[in-house]
């Protein structure tokens, strides 16, 4: 019993006895406050995360052990483990009733590691591109049905210090998003375009047929343009970044005010952005075909 309490304290920094008391009163009150109405969803998430921590610490554990460390009934522990197993976050090798972390954890961790590697490998290229164009350069990746910027370099002409890092935008309304859409599979394109394509400005393209024409042009030229489609007065150009096996994993873009990045200059800028994207792709391990 003492060893169980010790393990629980290391994982949750809360003794099991205290956790049991909180589970019956104090913890329920705390989670009700955190969730606004009913604390059950927050408490379940907290317990599910603790299950992962238990398996990470011990390598493997059975439902009985997990329940003891959580201070809950076995049926509760079984439901938590079952939910995590369905998501691939835990798995049960063999028939011994023991669980361990699943490959879903590696997938999630790999996504984060890939993002960190991408920003590291692209940073110098982005700095050079921003210096060359004098405009803001961003690296963006897909995030569900959105596009999110994960790194940014401001050029010398970027007077307004707008921070785009972490900002999510609809795929169809940005140059980076249109690049990612263009290189998606046809079924994935159709799924996204069946949804609501919000008109953010009078120039946002919301017609699926018009977007498909854009995709064809992007595939021909290798870069995408956005003319006041996200914000009035903002133009942008983006090109695809490829991973080791050639798949498009991100986009690099240059954006600036329409009076400076004039529509008539976007194709010239596009060639420059495309070269930067190819250099980043090479740094990510992609070897362009001859």
From 35-49, 111-125, 162-176, 265-279, the region with the lowest mean pLDDT: 35-49
Res 161: pLDDT: 58
Assign 59 a pLDDT band (cuts: 50, 70, 90): confident
Res 176: pLDDT: 97
* Closest to 55 (Cα-Cα) out of 77, 86, 23: 77
Res 97: pLDDT: 81
Q: Sort strands 136-143 and 98-101 into parallel, antiparallel or unpaired.
A: unpaired
> Which residues 6+ apart lie within 8 Å of 266 measured at CB?
225, 227, 235, 237
Question: Over the range 20-52, which residues count as b (16 or more CB within 10 Å of their CB) and which as e?
Answer: eebbeeebeeebeeeeeeebeebbeebbbebbb
Delimiting residues of CATH 3.30.450.40 domain(s) in the chain: 118-284
- Side-chain-side CA neighbours of 174 within 13 Å: the count stands at 27
Rounded mean pLDDT, 59-67: 90
Assign 250 a pLDDT band (cuts: 50, 70, 90): very high
Res 211: pLDDT: 95
Nearest-5° angle of CA 55, CA 59, CA 60? 70
Res 252: pLDDT: 98
* Closest to 207 (Cα-Cα) out of 169, 176, 172: 172
For residue range 153-171, what is the model confidence (pLDDT) as tens digits?
998 876 655 677 888 899 9
User: Is the pLDDT confidence value at 18 over 50?
Assistant: no
Res 155: pLDDT: 86
**Could you say which of 3.30.465.10, 3.30.450.40, 2.40.37.10, 3.30.300.20 is the CATH number of the domain covering 118-284?**
3.30.450.40
Q: Note whether 268 and 262 are within 8 A (CB).
A: no
CA 155: distance to chain centroid? 25
Res 184: pLDDT: 94
Assign 4 a pLDDT band (cuts: 50, 70, 90): very low
Whether pTM exceeds 0.85? no
Rounded distance between C-alpha atoms, residue 174 and residue 216, angstroms = 16
Does domain 43-113 correspond to CATH entry 1.10.1740.10?
no
Token code pair at residue 25: 């009163």
CA 211: distance to chain centroid? 24
Assign 34 a pLDDT band (cuts: 50, 70, 90): very low
Q: Would you put residue 225 in left (φ > 0), alpha (ψ -120 to 50) or beta?
A: beta
More confident residue, 206 or 20: 206
* Closest to 180 (Cα-Cα) out of 137, 122, 226, 116: 226
- In the sheet that 98-101 helps form, which strands lie side by side, from edge to edge? 61-62, 98-101, 90-91
More confident residue, 276 or 23: 276
From 51-60, 109-118, 159-168, the region with the lowest mean pLDDT: 109-118
User: Is the pLDDT confidence value at 123 over 50?
Assistant: yes
Delimiting residues of CATH 1.10.10.10 domain(s) in the chain: 43-113
Res 284: pLDDT: 86
The overall average pLDDT reported for the chain is 82
Whole-Å CA distances, 160 to 136, 150, 232, 286: 10, 19, 15, 35
More confident residue, 197 or 108: 197
- In the sheet that 168-170 helps form, which strands lie side by side, from edge to edge? 168-170, 146-153, 136-143, 248-257, 234-242, 224-227
């Amino acid at each position: 019993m003492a060893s169980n309490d010790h393990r629980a304290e290391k994982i949750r920094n809360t003794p099991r006895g205290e956790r049991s008391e909180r589970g019956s009163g104090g913890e329920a009150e705390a989670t009700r406050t955190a969730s606004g109405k009913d604390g059950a969803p927050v408490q379940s998430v907290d317990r599910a995360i603790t299950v992962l921590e238990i398996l990470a610490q011990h390598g493997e554990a059975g439902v009985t052990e997990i329940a003891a460390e959580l201070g809950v009934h076995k049926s509760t522990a079984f439901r938590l483990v079952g939910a995590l197993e369905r998501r691939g976050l835990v798995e049960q090798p063999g028939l011994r009733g023991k669980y361990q972390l699943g490959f879903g954890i590696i997938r999630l961790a790999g996504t984060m590691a890939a993002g960190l590697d991408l920003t590291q490998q692209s940073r110098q290229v982005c700095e050079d591109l921003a210096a060359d164009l004098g405009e803001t350069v961003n690296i963006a990746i897909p995030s569900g049905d959105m596009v999110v910027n994960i790194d940014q370099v401001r050029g010398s002409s970027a007077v307004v210090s707008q921070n785009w890092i972490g900002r999510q935008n609809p795929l169809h309304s940005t140059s980076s998003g249109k690049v990612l859409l263009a290189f998606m599979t046809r079924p994935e394109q159709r799924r996204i375009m069946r949804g609501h394509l919000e008109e953010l400005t009078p120039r946002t393209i919301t017609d699926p047929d018009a977007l498909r024409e854009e995709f064809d042009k992007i595939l021909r030229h290798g870069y995408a343009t956005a003319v006041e489609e996200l914000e009035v007065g903002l133009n942008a150009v983006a090109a695809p970044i490829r991973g080791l096996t050639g798949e498009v994993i991100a986009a690099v873009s240059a954006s600036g005010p329409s009076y400076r990045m004039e529509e008539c200059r976007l194709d010239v800028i596009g060639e420059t952005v495309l070269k930067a994207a190819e250099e980043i792709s090479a740094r990510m391990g992609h070897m362009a075909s001859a």
